[in-house]
Amino acid sequence: GHPWCRGCGGEALIYVKLISSDGHEFIVKREHVLTSETIKTMLSGPGHFAENKTNEVNFREIPSHVLSKVCMYFTYKIQYTNSSKEIPEFPIAPEIPLELLMAVNFLDC
């Protein structure tokens, strides 16, 4: 079994693993990654993708500096959706927005 999930085989796993093109692994709550329509489809498809069985998704075209930002956005989105708190600015460093946009366009989030 996986040390980082509550239990396998039938039970809903609370974490998934996202792997960047340069081999970095990001362990993120399943609830968070469902922000991305694409990942949601990948994880719930009827055995179409190999990822469905292992709760891992390999992003062969998304480098870690982009994927890490995407994971940060997932947290930001969950934290401030349906919350009465002030929504702070989400910082995007000037070097990455275009690369990030391409990845996010694919991920649909």
Partner 1 sequence: MRSRTIGELLAPAAPFDKKCGRENWTVAFAPDGSYFAWSQGHRTVKLVPWSQCLKNFLLHGTKNITNSSSLRLSRQNSDGGQKNKPREHIIDCGDIVWSLAFGSSVPEKQSRCVNIEWHRFRFGQDQLLLATGLNNGRIKIWDVYTGKLLLNLVDHTEVVRDLTFAPDGSLILVSASRDKTLRVWDLKDDGNMMKVLRGHQNWVYSCAFSPDSSMLCSVGASKAVFLWNMDKYTMIRKLEGHHHDVVACDFSPDGALLATASYDTRVYIWDPHTGAILMEFGHLFPPPTPIFAGGANDRWVRSVSFSHDGLHVASLADDKMVRFWRIDEDYPVQVAPLSNGLCCAFSTDGSVLAAGTHDGSVYFWATPRQVPSLQHLCRMSIRRVMPTQEVQELPVPSKVLEFLSYRV
The position carrying tokens 């989030």 is: 109
109 vs 49: CA distance, rounded Å: 20
| Those residues with Cβ within 8 angstroms of residue 69's Cβ, 6 or more apart along the chain or in another chain | 92, 96, 100
Span near partner 1 by CB under 8 A; candidates 21-29, 46-54, 55-63, 89-97: 89-97
CB of 54 to partner 1, least distance (A): 26
Considering only 4-12, 20-28, 47-55, 73-81, which stretch makes contact with partner 1 by CB under 8 A? 73-81
Distance CA(87)–CA(81), nearest Å, equals: 9
- Which residues in this chain contact partner 1 in the complex, by CB under 8 A? 70, 73, 76-77, 80-81, 86-87, 90, 92, 94, 97-98, 100-102, 104-105, 108-109
